[in-house]
């Protein structure tokens, strides 16, 4: 994946847990970060037991400085994908640094 191909607008939704509220429940905040990236379709699966479930799994490619982790959501073209893997840094041996990050993400609908 060439960095020149990281041109698709995306939004990363990252949830952070904050201090407890008055009832002792932890509060959560969601930070949104606009980034450019790439996406490729990995696989689809259908399940009809207990209702229709359609699952799309994709690979998301990002700049190597992007902060992303499992449990974050990536919004691409109005669809939300949950990050299900640790980021993998693709290494550029000539430069001696990470070229880009790759994560697996999935979208499920009922």
Q: How many domains does the chain have?
A: 1
- Of 94, 97, 108, the residue nearest 52 (C-alpha): 108
Q: Domain residues for 42? A: 3-109
Q: How far apart are CA 16 and CA 71, in angstroms?
A: 10
Q: What is the pLDDT of residues 65-102, one digit of tens each?
A: 999 999 999 999 999 999 999 999 988 888 788 889 99
Q: How far apart are CA 55 and CA 33, in angstroms?
A: 25
Spatial contact of 96 and 45, defined as CB atoms under 8 Å apart: no
CA dihedral over 109, 80, 83, 91, signed as positive or negative? positive
Total-model pTM? 0.78
């Amino acid at each position: 994946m060439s960095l020149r191909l990281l041109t698709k607008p995306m939004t990363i939704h990252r949830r952070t847990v904050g201090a407890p509220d008055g009832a002792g429940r932890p509060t959560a905040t969601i930070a949104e970060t606009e980034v450019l990236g790439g996406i490729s379709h990995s696989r689809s699966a259908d399940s009809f037991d207990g209702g229709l479930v359609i699952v799309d799994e994709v690979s998301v490619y990002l700049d190597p400085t992007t902060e992303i982790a499992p449990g974050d959501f990536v919004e691409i073209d109005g669809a939300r994908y949950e990050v299900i893997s640790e980021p993998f840094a693709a290494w550029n041996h000539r430069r001696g640094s990470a070229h880009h990050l790759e994560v697996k993400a999935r979208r499920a609908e009922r």
